[in-house]
Structure 1
Amino acid sequence: MKPKICIQLSFYTSLFLLLFSHAASQLNDHEQAILLNLKQHWKNPQPLNHWTPSNTSHCSWPEITCSTGGSVTELYLINKDISGTVPPFICDLNNLIALDLSYNYMTSNEFPRALYSCSNLQYLNLSQNYFAGTLPDDIHRMAQLRELNLGANSFSGNIPASIGQLTELRILQLFACPFNGSFPPEIGNLSNLERLELAYISGITTTLPLEFTKLKKLKYLWVAGSNLVVEIPDKIEEMAALEHLDLSRNNLSGNIPSGLFMPKNLSIVYLYKNKLGGEIPWAIEALNIAVLDLSENNLTGSIPDDFGRLTKLSGLALFCNQLSGKIPDSIGRLPGLINLKLFSNNFSGTLSPDFGRYSMLEEFQVASNKLTGQLPEYLGDNRRLTGVVAFDNNLSGELPKSLGSCNNLKILNVKNNRFSGSVPSGVWTLLNLSNLLLSNNSFTGELPERLSLNLSRLEMSCNMFSGKIPAGVSSWKNLVHLDVGNNLLNGTIPLELTALSHLSTLLLDQNRFSGSLPSNIISWKSLNMLNLSRNAISGQIPEGFCYLPRLTDLDLSENQLFGEIPPKLGLLKLSSLNLSSNLLTGRIPSEFENGAYASSFLNNPRLCANKPSLNIAECNSKTQNSSKTSSKLLAWIIGVPAAFLGLLASFHVIRIYRKRKQVSDLAWKLTSFQRLNFTKFDILSGLTENNVIGCGGSGKVYCVSINNPSRDCVAVKRIWSNKKLEHKLEKEFLAEVKILSSIRHSNIVKLLCCISSDNSKLLVYEYLENRSLDLWLNRKSRATTVSGSVHNDVLDWPKRLKIAVGAAQGLSYMHHDCSPPIVHRDLKSSNILLDSEFNAKIADFGLAKILMKEGESATMSDVVGSYGYIAPEYAHTIRVNEKIDVYSFGVILLELTTGRKASEGDEHTSLAEWAWRHFQEGNSIVDALDEEVKENTQHKNEMCCVFKLGIICTGTLPSTRPSMKEVLKILLRCNQPSGYGEKYSDYNASPLLKNSMCERVLENNDATLASMV
């Protein structure tokens, strides 16, 4: 019997295996067909090209995870260029547990309710897409969900209360969506919730519901930038599991609850940029706190002594409050302290001598307080310091010698104190030092022969430095700003100083310099401001000053200069000139004969002017006496009738002019596109040379003040000819009027009206106070470093990114929202105008083309545009599309990140060509960034990302360039607030930046870039 039984068992086993194999094969074929249908439904995105019919299992595809039985359980389609909708048949994958479609281009006007049929779905991520509409009230039907991420979409309306019925949820992420209303208190019913992200929800103004304190398992709470008002709930200490709390960038007021620091596991607390007042709670039981940021509030009182118990504290930011008292010495002994930012308070007393002794301190910022005593002796002992910012205090003594060994140090700012003695010798040559600010102290010693190669800003004014400028000054190659005014320096100004071609500001005033000025100064091509006043400099003003293209401020007063003022000096666009109190002679250049220079030439007795209005003598003012009385009589006899005849002629001319003017005024026709508060006569009367603010290829641009109560200004572009308008200018005029009169967008300059006559056309626009972008990018001027950031006349990175986003919004509107689409064709930085808040507006549409049919390119008869911005295909095709604007915009992104002009790559290439080669050769992107803004490390990643985006936009093949909608999406992600990452470069709590599309460009597009080269 036994052999027979064994044979039977073997037979049934084989039969079962055969049936199982057949079933598995059928399942494999069925699910593979579903996946291939998905690919086809999404129009075969290139990243899914490996999804092809085959005998091998689809479980080997990297986006798929299968169960042991070969059934699809997880589908991860992150960043796969998928567009379209979520089809219902996706739920035919019956065992699907996880679905991730994040970072794609999926669109829908509603939440994809088809997913309700995925009955086993536990993980759903639709973030970073274009889903819109409201969330359905029956979303609780997805009852099995443990993780739901809908962040960074366009969902609007109220967050439904039914979301509180998804009781299995561990993670809920709804950040960066334009919801309105308020946060539903029913979220407090999610008893299993561990992570809740409701940050940057633009349409909400609400309180933090008290019911949220019932979330006993919640570890991570992120509600930054969502217009929270009123107070932090008192019962927040009941959230016993809380580890990460971020309520920053809101409008919270009142006091910080006394129990805030009670949860034992609390490690990250961000409450910066609120309106919190009162004192910091004294009872601190959360001894695991690693990062605490309460900056930019209205806090008063002192720092609690309990802070000395926070042995794991690595970052403490309390800046911009009203805190006072002594900084506890115990903070200096914290072993984990890395970043300390206490500036802009009222702290007094001395600093703990132990700062830097027990921890790897990197940032030490205590500026703008009332501190006394010395900087801690051990401050730089661990050689990890990157920044010491202690200006505006009453600190004294010598700088710690340990600073001379801190090669990571990038900024040392101790100006406006009472320091004395010499600067530690090692400080001058620290490898990474970029900003050294020592002004308004009592430092002594001489200038060094060598400086750090990275040093771009050196301020030493109002000290007691002595000696000569060393010959080694020629090695200070990268200096942009040098200020050694009001010291005891002497000798001549050496020729070697003229080798510093990057200098933007040079201040040598109030010293003891003598001798003549160097004649060969033409290499100061970047110089914007020069002050040599109050010295003993003699000789003549060098002709070379006339050839410094960027010079706007020149002060040579109170010296011993003699000779004539070089006539060509008047060709410079000087906003400030002071040559007073010298020994100058002769006639001043005619360009300076106006009231703006009324005090520029005082106390030069032998100077004269053609006009008597500059407080100096009038040239040729002495009358010549006649030797004969008869000559006077003859002149009188002839002169009186001539004068009478001249008077009659004048009346006749005036009469004719008035008649002609009346006829001329009647010949002007005004066509308005907006409601106007001025007349055509207001505009015509303002077209004077004094009001000219620019010149273009088609005519001049005027700033005209309107005589209304608010004294508004408008910009007027005049297209003019002595004869009838040339055909080309007429075409440009009509093109601009046609386009700007038909579109409305906040990032496109507003055309108010046009005024035309037979031989002149006027376009009247809104006036934008900050003029054009190119003037800002190409202007190296004075800047003030406050808390480590450079601003004022130098555009900082946040402003540059804001400008890029604004311009991209305008272009995206033209390309994607206008019907038919509009191609600008001459996009460049001079055609991007800036208002008082640095909002960007696209201008100058004289070359624009309207695409006659959507999806069809327009033809053109000639190549137009500006060198450096012209797409490669533009020179050899008669068809244009939106991708030529994308190329030009990419060049602008490269300008914003590098600080170079579009035509300035190197000797033989444009900026776009240079940037491509720089990247292709494997060079560091950081080396290509603008020196004036990249030193702020918190923005380097964003700058690198935008630089790469600029390279992608300037791809040789139009098909490789993204659309402006895609470009805008990347820039918006780069522009999202980045949580604590803005303050501490070693920690970034915000998934918006860490996982953003911008970051993906930075990390994942190397292969794409390589394929485009």
Structure 2
Amino acid sequence: MKKSSKSFVKFSSYSLLFFFLILNHAKSYSDMYNEEHIVLMNIKQYLQNPPYLSHWTLSNSYHCSWPELNCTNDSVTGLSLVECNINHTIPTFICDLKNLTHIDFSANSIPGEFPRYLYNCSKLEYLDLSMNNLYGKVPEDIESLSSLQYLNLGSTNFYGDIPVSIGRLKDLRVLQLQYCLFNGTYPDEIGNLSNLETLDLSSNFELPRSSLPSSWTKLSKLKVFYMYGCNLVGEIPETIGEMVALEKLDMSENNLSGQIPKSLLLLKNLTKLYLQHNSLSGEIPDAIEALNLTAIDLTKNNLTGKIPDDFGKLTKLTGLCLSTNKLSGEIPENISRFPYLKDFRVFFNNLSGTLPPDFGRFSKLRSFHICSNKFSGRLPENLCYYGELLNFTAYDNNLSGELPQSLGNCSSLEDFKIYNNQFSGNIPSGLWKSSNLLNFMVSQNKFTGELPDRLSSTISRFEISYNQFSGRIPAGVSSLKNVVVFNASKNFFNGSFPQELATLSTLTTLLLDQNHLTGSIPSDIIAWKSLVTLNLSENQFFGQIPDTIGNLPVLSQLDLSKNQFSGKIPSKLPILTNLNLSSNRLTGRIPSEFGISAFASSFLDNPGLCTDNPALNLTLCNTGPPRRTEGSSWSLPLIVSLIAVFFGLALLASLLIIRLFRKRKQRLDNSWKLISFQRLSFTESNIVSSLTEHNIIGRGGYGTVYRVPVDDLGYVGVKKIWNNRKLDKRLESSFHAEVKILSNIRHNNIVKLLCCISNQDSMLLVYEYHENRSLDRWLCKKSKSSGMSGSVHHVVIDWPKRLKIATGIAQGLCYMHHDCSPPIVHRDVKTSNILLDVQFNAKVADFGLARMLIKPEELETMSNVVGSFGYIAPEYIKTTRVSEKVDVFSFGVILLELTTGKEANYGDEHSSLAEWALRHVQLGTDIEELLDKDVMELSNVDEMCSAFKLGIMCTTTKPASRPSMKEAVQILHRCGEGFTFRERSVGKYDAVPLLKNSKRQHSFDFVDSDSGY
């Protein structure tokens, strides 16, 4: 009995001890959890109780359920506050969350220097502070974060050296320092990061010229290596082959030289290789075993030799870009059988031979660019076999034979450029009317046949000159509602002038010369408000030249020579730079404005014409042989002598004038100064000499825009600012400084500035040229004259393209506002300043009004208001104060244009589209009733409504209530992913509108009194 009692007492003692241990542990756990809860509530209070943390409450006690947190064993290990518009520093007490391993504050507006108090987070493994306003130097003692595996400080304002101590973070797997302002050296010690898998230092344009540190090639676990735009020079070291795990390599936009290392193409894990825009030379190595490569871009180098046969091993390639080199020989046949190949670019080389016949047969080709080579033979039959070919350029070769019939079924085709070859036969009938075709350029071939009755309504450039087409120009040309250039010169067309051509209001160039056309020119040509060039020479036209030609506002080049026109020259003609009416049957007096030496050859071989200017070598009006009168002392020898003296003096004066003109021209030409921001293939003289009326594509309040051909780029856009007046020196200096800042911008959605050319009277800005021109030309539903930049007839671009355009604009503006230092405010964002490339990617352009904000938190007051009606923010008009929110307002107007199909100045002179949209919102109008019916479908109505609502928010009258461009980008991205506005909204704007999104009902119910409505 005693023994059992002792055992019971012993068991009870152990049980009691165990109970107290559990109780103590539970109390410790409870205390820790409560401490974390208090820290989190303090963080919320520090951030001034933002709406996006409204669910962080004391009553909601289980904080591990909050979406911003990650927990392990009910303790906070991760805190993520991404894209929350935070403009405070990170709380200094954040490391009171003692088990934190993961901190993500990316895509905010956090100011200040690197938060060294994060060193107190002793367990920190993941730190993302990218896309913030942080500045200063990355501290040398950053190695104190000894457990760090992921570090992203990209898109900030950090400068100076990349600290050597980063090389002592032994566990680091990801290091991202892209888009910063580092201007020091590359530390060799990064090569000591033996566990590193991703290294991104791209777009650090301030770094000094330097070669790639050889120690970095020891990073044997590195998979992703991005160093584009880092001022790299010298050769790529052969030891780069030691990076055996490398999958993606981008070292483009540097100044690398020498040959491509053979070891690089032996990396079997490599999937993407980008070395374009360098100075690499030599041949492409034959030894290629990088069997996982999916993309190679070696564009714009100095590579020579052949495309190696070993490229045939790279069967996973989706893109092969070898353009603008000096490659020769034939294309290896096995490349055409790659099953995933979508993008093939070898233009501007010396390649020759026939094209492999299997291109397009085994892969879904989208882009096929082989122009400016020496290819011969026929085109592959199956280029559009899968119906996805978008762009096909084969001009400037020696290709021949008939076009493949399969191209007639290629409805996806947008660009078709095969001019200057030896093609023959008929063009496949379906190709003429392809539903997406923008550029149809087949000039300088040997095509035959007649034009079909119907042509594609989407075509912008229709060029079929120097072929053997015949028959009449059909009435079906009236379907070319968007054609800008119609060039049918040097063919065998007959019949009368097609009246339907006179209805095409978007025409800037009409060339019908060297045909067999007859009849008279129609007098009803008032639709030609944008026509710049008209050439009908070498035909059989007769009758009078219609007086209505004098009503064409921008006509500058007129050639009606070698016809049978009769009657008088119209008394009123436009201001012409080139005029040729020679070899006709015209009679009467030459108009005085053309009776000058500049037009001396414009009227030859018209026996019935006369002039008042004896210097033109034409019959003088109202003169005849002199009558002798009694007592007259005039004799024939005297008259002859006087005439000889007169012509001698005139000849001497002409020579002096020509000499003075040449000296003046030489002096002006020599005064041009070029400031280059890219590697150029042209000189200032190439640009200046091409600034002719023929090349004008637009006019605006700040200058004239030209399209100038250059060798390597095809075309460049040139904007001429300020003409024939001296520039204020301070203004010129300020302009140069601003252009210098803008020249450093590198973003896919901002047009690239190539160089600036100037003299005493003019400034020339040379940009990349984009064929699809400006957005306003695609949105306007009616024809209106606005000089050369007049809008075109309506072409419906579908909603996916519009959403893509809106997202591109937002990304460009976001970069300017949040990633440039100091931030850039455009001040004149509008559809005419948004350029579109062939893929409808948006490019923000025309920075003539742009201003830099010295401090992001300060507003800059301008001395006067500039901009365009309908796009100007109300506070800018009232106070002339500039902030980023001025651009946000203008962007909102563009969103409203894209969703409603109406113009920014919709309404009368006192109202705008933004006011019209707001009025309907206040009246409770169903949003679907406001949308553009031409693009609205059941599948996209929610996306369109979400974009419309974002447009309303961006155009609210109070700047503080507008979202930032960062938030706009996120909303549009999520809109494109299929989320409605309410499902995946962001930041403080979750609490602004309550959106009633039933399947067929879209309206606003504003509950926030500070929303501006």
Q: Give TM-score scaled by structure 1 length.
A: 0.71
Deviations 1:700-754 (A, max 9, x none): 99xxxxxxxxxx9976779xxxxxxxxxxxxxxxxx999969978733899xxxx
Contact 2:876 2:882 in 1 (8 A): no
Return the match for 1:221 from 209, 225, 230.
225
Instruction: For 2:42, give the aligned amino acid.
Output: N
Task: Find the aligned partners of 1:807 and 1:591 in 2 and give their Cα distance.
Answer: 52
CA distance in 1, matches of 2:929, 2:235: 52
State how far apart, in whole Å, the 2-side matches of 1:371 and 1:222 are.
35
2:257 aligned counterpart, secondary structure: coil
Letter in 2 for 1:567: S
Work out the CA distance in 2 between the residues paired with 1:901 and 1:623: 68
Matching residue of 1:156: 159
Amino acid at match of 1:210: S
Aligned counterpart, 1:415: 419
Q: 1:103 and 1:291, CA in 2 relative to 1: closer, same or farther beyond 3 A?
A: same
Deviation at 1:512, TM superposition (A): 0.9
Match of 1:395 among 387, 399, 410: 399
Who is 1:767 aligned against? 762
Q: Distance in 2 between matches of 1:481 and 1:926?
A: 29
**Structure 1, residues 108-152: CA drift from partner, whole Å, max 9, x if none?**
1x3221111111110011111121111111111111000001111
User: 1:33 — aligned with what?
Assistant: 38
Please list, as runs of the form range in 1=range in 2, the aligned pairs for 1:464-475 lying within 5 A after superposition. 464-475=468-479
Q: Deviations over 1:295-353 (max 9, x none)?
A: 21111111111112222222111111111111111212222322211111111111112
CA contact (8 A) 1:831 1:842 kept: no
Q: SS of the counterpart of 2:587?
A: strand
Aligned-partner residue type, residue 501 of structure 1: S
Q: How far is the alpha carbon of 1:429 from its aligned partner? A: 2.0
Alignment deviations for residues 388-430 of structure 1 (CA, whole Å, 9 cap, x no partner): 2111111111011111122222222111110100011121122
- Partner residue, 2:604: 602
The whole-number CA distance in structure 2 between the counterparts of 1:171 and 1:814 is 28
Structure 2 letter corresponding to 1:521? I
Q: Does 1:189 align with 2:184?
A: no
- Report if the CA contact (8 A) 1:194-1:217 is conserved: yes
Aligned counterpart, 1:679? none
Q: How many aligned residue pairs are there?
A: 828
User: Is the deviation greater in 113-122 or in 581-590?
Assistant: 581-590
CA-to-partner distance for each residue in 1:936-963, whole Å, 9 max, x for gaps? xxxxxxxx9xx99995796142326769
CA contact (8 A) 1:46 1:81 kept: no
Mapped partners of 1:179, 1:25: distance in 2: 46
Q: d(CA) in 1 for partners of 2:18 and 2:553?
A: 92
**One-letter amino acid of the structure 1 residue matched with residue 39 of structure 2:** I
Matches within 5 A, 1:419-458: 419-458=423-462
Closer, same or farther: CA 1001–549 of 1 in aligned 2, 3 Å: farther
Q: CA RMSD in A?
A: 5.3
The amino acid across from 2:763 in the alignment is L
Q: 1:312 to 1:602 in 2, by over 3 A?
A: same
What is the rounded CA distance, in whole Å, between the counterparts of 2:833 and 2:339 in structure 1? 54
Which runs of no fewer than 5 residues in structure 2 stay unpaired? 635-695, 705-719, 742-758, 768-772, 778-785, 791-804, 835-843, 936-943, 996-1003, 1005-1010
Question: For residue 562 of structure 2, what is the amino acid of its counterpart?
Answer: E
Distance between the aligned counterparts of 2:345 and 2:700, measured in 1? 51
Distance 1:738 1:420, change over 3 A: closer
CA contact (8 A) 1:291 1:315 kept: yes
Counterpart residue type for residue 142 of structure 1? L
The one-letter amino acid of 1:120's match is K
The 2-side partners of 1:579 and 1:391 are apart by 33
Q: Looking at both structures, which has the greater relative contact order when contacts are Cα pairs under 8 Å and sequence separation is at least 6? A: 2
The secondary structure found in structure 1 opposite 2:403 is: coil
Whether contact under 8 Å (1:540, 1:561) holds in the other structure is yes
Describe how 1:79-90 pairs up with structure 2 within 5 A: 79-90=83-94
- Following superposition, the deviation at residue 841 of structure 1 comes to 5.9
| Correspondence for 2:737 among 746, 754, 759 | 746
SS for the counterpart of 1:332 is helix
Match of 1:59 in 2: 64
* 2:146 is aligned with 1:143: yes
Q: Mean Cα displacement is larger for which, 309-318 or 121-130?
A: 309-318
- What are the superposed Cα offsets for residues 263-301 of structure 1, whole Å, 9 maximum, x if unpaired? 221121111111111111111122222212222111111
The one-character-per-residue Cα deviations of 1:585-643 (angstroms, maximum 9, x if unpaired) are 3344444455554443333343445545555455555699798989x9xxxxxxxxxxx
Deviation of residue 446 (structure 1)? 0.5
The one-letter code of the counterpart of 1:601 is: F
Q: Distance in 1 between matches of 2:245 and 2:616?
A: 76
Q: Equivalent residue of 1:31, what SS? A: helix
Partner deviation per Cα, 1:901-953 (whole Å, 9 max, x = no partner): 9766599985767999999659999999xxxxxxxxxxxxxxx9xx9999579
> Aligned to 1:277, which of 281, 287, 308?
281
Matched residue type, 2:737 = S
Q: Following TM superposition, by how much is the alpha carbon of 1:174 offset from its aligned partner in structure 2, in angstroms? A: 0.9
The 1:870–1:283 alpha-carbon spacing in structure 2 relative to 1, beyond 3 Å, is closer
- Taking the aligned partners of 1:807 and 1:516, their CA distance within structure 2 comes to 56
- Retained in 2: the 8 A contact 1:891–1:911? no
Cα distance 1:883–1:229, how it changes in 2: closer, same or farther (>3 A)? closer
Alignment correspondent of 1:931: none
Map of 2:750 onto structure 1: none
CA contact (8 A) 1:891 1:902 kept: no
Could you say if the C-alpha distance between residues 579 and 29 of structure 1 is closer, same or farther in structure 2, counting changes exceeding 3 Å?
farther
Q: Is the 8 A contact 1:504 1:781 kept in 2?
A: no
Supply the distance in 2 between the matched residues of 1:885 and 1:622 (Cα, whole angstroms): 71
Q: Residue 125 of structure 1 aligns with which residue?
A: 128
CA distance in 2, matches of 1:699, 1:780: 14
- Structure 2 length as normaliser, TM-score? 0.71
| Conserved? CA contact 1:134–1:156, under 8 Å | yes
Aligned to 2:105: 101
SS in 2 for 1:106: coil
Local SS of the residue matching 1:249: coil
Q: What letter corresponds to residue 287 of structure 1 in structure 2?
A: L
Deviation at 1:535, TM superposition (A): 1.1
Distance 2:849 2:730 in 1: 11
The one-letter amino acid of 2:455's match is L
Deviations 1:523-581 (A, max 9, x none): 22232322222111112222332333333333222222223333332xx3433333333
Taking every aligned residue pair, what percent have the same amino acid on both sides?
A: 46
Aligned mates of 1:830, 1:411 — CA distance in 2: 23
Is the counterpart of residue 200 in structure 1 residue 203 in structure 2? Answer: yes
Aligned pairs for 1:778-927 within 5 A: 842=848, 867-871=869-873, 885-886=886-887, 890=891
Evaluate the alpha carbon distance shift between residue 375 and residue 840 of structure 1 in structure 2; reply closer, same or farther with a 3 A threshold. closer
| Per-residue deviation, 1:85 | 1.7
CA contact (8 A) 2:506 2:528 kept: yes
Q: Shift in Å at residue 170 of structure 1?
A: 0.5
Q: What is the aligned partner in structure 2 of residue 585 from structure 1?
A: 587
Counterpart of 1:134?
Answer: 137
Larger mean CA deviation between 1-10 and 505-514 belongs to 1-10
* Superposition map of 1:913-952 within 5 A: 951=951
Cα separation, 2, equivalents of 1:700 and 1:238: 54
Query: How much has 1:245 moved relative to structure 2?
Result: 1.3
Kept after mapping to 2: 8 A contact 1:368/1:390? yes
- Structure 2 SS opposite 1:253: strand
CA contact (8 A) 1:66 1:73 kept: yes
Tell me, in whole angstroms, the C-alpha distance in 1 between the residues paired with 2:246 and 2:930. Answer: 44
Change (3 A) 1:391 1:121: same
Structure 1 Cα separation of the partners of residues 465 and 80 of structure 2: 60
Summarize the Cα distance change of 1:617–1:806 in structure 2 as closer, same or farther, 3 Å threshold: farther
Q: Partners of 2:149 and 2:347 in 1: how far apart?
A: 44
What corresponds to 1:661 in structure 2?
A: none
The 3-state SS of whatever aligns with 1:72 is strand
Q: Partner of 1:635 in structure 2?
A: none
